[in-house]
Amino acid sequence: MSFQNPVFIPGPTNMPEAIRQACYMPTIDHRSPIFGSILHPCLEGVRKVLKSESAHIFIFPATGTGGWETALSNTLSPGDGVLAARNGMFSHRWIDMCQRHGLDVQVIETPWGEGIAADRYEEILRGDRDHKIKVVLATHNETATGVKSDIAAVRRALDAAKHPALLFVDGVSSIGSMDFRFDEWGVDVAVTGSQKGFMLPAGLAIVGFSEKAMQATESAGLPRTFFDVHDMAKGYANNAFPYTPPVGLMNGLKLSLETLLDEGLENVFARHTRIATGVRHAVKAWGLELCAVSPEVYSDSVSAIRTPEGFNATDIVTRAADEYGMAFGVGLGEVAGKVFRIGHLGSLTDAMMLSGLGVAEMVMVDLGLDVKLGSGVAAAQEYYRHGANKANKAAA
């Protein structure tokens, strides 16, 4: 594995030099006002990236999984009802966490490759007359399948059913890369991490709570201390954490947020769409299919690519690493061996993407797949060359 090549895993992403340097700061006293000058811009910047006016933002020294646990343990009690769709490994894991925390989860099994079905949510919610369902879970972007779901539609389902359940959204691989509208979609808890759209090392769970979610914390019976949002809020009010904060990572987050907001969120999203579209053109030129079943669910942060029957897609990932020093993502769970994944989020340029596509082609040819060298690259080039300029500069 060469450290020189960019990575094409769906997170952690490539890191811009300046952001990496910002993480790498000398020790400061985390009880001094300097820390406040890092903390508060982080909270405000995350709120802007979530497109929220008033969400309560919490940052934990953990990962997205810790963010999920924060969401559940601060708002729910054992036995509470949860409604969730399972359409990939990450929605599966969140469901599994609910079960391990004694929640009563109703699972909408959804084919891996499809987005979550808002109509099924609505149907079930309408049937839940006693409002046993306290929380609806939705995975905005299934990292395992490269599938984006329509969160606004889930909100409409809740509203149509006049159901008071909270809406929790896993935005780990979407927030900061794809459009996310906390307020407009009526999200109650949004969860993400540092290592995707924020282009940082793993190590921060980043969550936003609505007022309604904050109210739910009052009666939540699940135990929690490390992930307690009230301890955190009390800390923030004193420019502090309830324990030692990850100062360097947060200093990096501060710069990451400045960078994203300076580029402009819509430009950031457009850049992700452009790079992703180039990848999709390449996939088509290779004669392959995405795991994602239709354009409206195509993810702009990761593409899961199906390989032909009888071929082990994981071999592509292994050979790319061993022979070409390049990292792609394997298939997980139900689609293990059936797909390989190209991450195309975070700090990336069209030029970098071409190197990823170029290596993928070489590997597929090496392994005997009927793919033409240069074909996917050419398809991406044709697309990219019409949209380069601004975004590449902005990503500098």
Q: Specify the stretch interacting with a second copy by CB under 8 A; choose among 41-49, 155-163, 254-262, 377-385.
A: 377-385
**Min separation Cβ 111 and a second copy, Å:** 25
**Min separation Cβ 284 and a second copy, Å:** 14
Looking at beta carbons only, is 89 or 161 nearer to a second copy? 89
Looking at beta carbons only, is 273 or 381 nearer to a second copy? 381
373 within 8 A of 42, measured Cβ to Cβ: no
Looking at beta carbons only, is 30 or 163 nearer to a second copy? 30
Residue 378 interacts with a second copy (CB under 8 A)?
A: yes
Residue 262 interacts with a second copy (CB under 8 A)?
A: no
**Min separation Cβ 185 and a second copy, Å:** 25
Q: Write a three-state SS string for the chain.
A: CCCCCCCCCCCCCCCCHHHHHHHCCCCCCCCCHHHHHHHHHHHHHHHHHCCCCCCEEEEECCCHHHHHHHHHHCCCCCCCEEEEEECCHHHHHHHHHHHHCCCEEEEEECCECECCCHHHHHHHHHHCCCCCEEEEEEECEECCCCEECCHHHHHHHHHHCCCCCEEEEECCCCECCECCCCCCCCCCEEEEECCCCCCCCCCCEEEEECHHHHHHHCCCCCCCCCCCHHHHHHHHHCCCCCCCCCHHHHHHHHHHHHHHHHHCHHHHHHHHHHHHHHHHHHHHHCCCEECCCCHHHECCCEEEEECCCCCCCHHHHHHHHHHHCCCCEECCHHHCCCEEEEECCCCCCHHHHHHHHHHHHHHHHHCCCCCCCCHHHHHHHHHHCCCCHHHHHHCC
Q: Which of 117, 175, 305, 377 binds a second copy (CB under 8 A)?
A: 377
**Min separation Cβ 122 and a second copy, Å:** 29
CA distance 241 to 6: 34
Looking at beta carbons only, is 45 or 278 nearer to a second copy? 278
CA distance 12 to 152: 27
Q: Which of 203, 279, 305, 344 binds a second copy (CB under 8 A)?
A: 203
Site for a second copy in 349-368 (CB under 8 A): 349-352, 354-356, 358-359, 361-362, 365-366
Residue 16 interacts with a second copy (CB under 8 A)?
A: yes
**Min separation Cβ 215 and a second copy, Å:** 20
Q: Which of 75, 91, 149, 195 binds a second copy (CB under 8 A)?
A: 195
Looking at beta carbons only, is 81 or 246 nearer to a second copy? 246
Looking at beta carbons only, is 11 or 176 nearer to a second copy? 11
Q: How far is CA 180 from the centre of its chain?
A: 11
Residue 273 interacts with a second copy (CB under 8 A)?
A: no
Examine residue 164 and say whether the peptide bond preceding it is cis (omega within 30 degrees of 0).
no
Q: Which of 249, 255, 313, 345 binds a second copy (CB under 8 A)?
A: 249
Q: Specify the stretch interacting with a second copy by CB under 8 A; choose among 49-57, 118-126, 244-252, 287-295.
A: 244-252
Nearest partner of 176 among 193, 188, 189, judged by Cα: 193
Q: Specify the stretch interacting with a second copy by CB under 8 A; choose among 50-58, 132-140, 211-219, 386-394.
A: 386-394
Residue 13 interacts with a second copy (CB under 8 A)?
A: yes
Site for a second copy in 34-73 (CB under 8 A): 34, 61-66, 68-69, 73
Looking at beta carbons only, is 16 or 208 nearer to a second copy? 16
Residue 284 interacts with a second copy (CB under 8 A)?
A: no
**Min separation Cβ 329 and a second copy, Å:** 8
x/- map, 224-243, a second copy, by CB under 8 A:
xxxxx-------------xx
